[in-house]
Amino acid sequence: MNIGISGATGFIGKSLVNSFRSTGHQVTVISRQDFNLGRLKEKLENLEVIINLAGESIEGRWTVRKKKRIYNSRIQSAKMLVEAVNLYDIRLKAFVNISAVGIYDDQQLHREDSTAFSRNFLTKVLKDWESQLQYLGNPHIRQVLVRAGIVLGKEGGILGRILRIAKFGVGVHIRIDKGFPFIHLKDLIRIFDHVLQNHQISGTVNAVAPVIVDTSVFFSTLNAALKPKLIIPVYGWMIKLILGQSAVLLTEGQKVIPETLTRSGFRFHFPDLESTFKDILT
């Protein structure tokens, strides 16, 4: 299969490119420099699938400039890809766009058909990002929105940062009872492949492990595995003081069920925290 991937140099993108290439797929990397219609024409010709991961990292404090970069990088990249597909009549089989379960509120239990969304900056970004796919002109292009949970891996994301601190014998315990929807990076990569191989899957896919835990349980389980000499307790008000608006990434966690994946026969290799940590930490 000929697959085009934007955002291919990020935490998820690098693993996705390596995985697809190792299994015999032809992968075309769509870089930031390719985002003008002339260059996109060359990149998109002969593609069967586009997977769009492009976007500014949401980590760190959300300044006015940071929020602008987060928003524009996602909406503009998706918009330009859709415009190029329409303009040059690219006969894709599927257009897959990553999103996040952060779109949901922190009160209810969410399946893919949930419309109980949060009301913050991140939700606006995700809703506007996802909405770009509706402008695809060819109704035969299968559209998939992969709403990922917190991606866990050794080389990046929240766990990667925690492990760097853990080298000094220090652990943290965020004492918040909101949901902590997570997914092992390896399972997320397999989910993308599963979505491409199962043509009946379209629309929203919740890419989270099939177990519901809260933030406090996540950190207590992680600390039990790492056994740090010192554990620093962290409370919600501290996170808000340090991170401002971006504190919602940790203080407003969601409880999410991967119903579409379960019904389509996807089998998680890492369905819980214990198996996830065992794989990553050994």
- Domains in the chain, please, with CATH? 2-151+181-211+255-269 (3.40.50.720)
The pLDDT-based confidence of 6 (bands split at 50, 70, 90) is very high
Average pLDDT value for residue range 6-29: 95
Percentage with pLDDT > 70 across the chain:
100
More confident residue, 94 or 32: 94
**Is the model's pLDDT at 143 over the cut of 90?**
yes
CA nearest 211: which of 279, 263, 258?
258
Average pLDDT value for residue range 172-188: 95
pLDDT of amino acid 235 = 87
Average pLDDT value for residue range 131-148: 97
Average pLDDT value for residue range 90-118: 96
pLDDT of amino acid 180 = 96
pLDDT of amino acid 90 = 94
Average pLDDT value for residue range 149-171: 90
**Is the model's pLDDT at 157 over the cut of 90?**
no
Per the CB < 8 A criterion, the answer to whether 113 and 59 are in contact is no
pLDDT of amino acid 245 = 84
pLDDT digits (tens, 9 = 90+) for 27-66: 999 998 998 878 899 999 999 999 999 999 998 889 999 9
First to last CA, the chain: 33
**What's the chain's average pLDDT?**
94
The pLDDT-based confidence of 123 (bands split at 50, 70, 90) is very high
CB 149: neighbour CB atoms within 10 A? 23
**Is the model's pLDDT at 144 over the cut of 90?**
yes
pLDDT of amino acid 248 = 87
pLDDT of amino acid 16 = 97
**Is the model's pLDDT at 170 over the cut of 90?**
yes
Residue 45 vs residues 42, 48, 83, 88, 90: alpha-carbon distances, Å:
6, 9, 14, 8, 7
Alpha helix stretches (DSSP H) within the chain: 11-22, 37-44, 64-87, 121-131, 157-166, 185-197, 215-226, 236-243, 248-251, 259-263, 273-281
The pLDDT-based confidence of 92 (bands split at 50, 70, 90) is very high
Q: Is 60 left (phi over 0), alpha (psi -120 to 50) or beta?
A: left
Percentage with pLDDT > 90 across the chain:
82
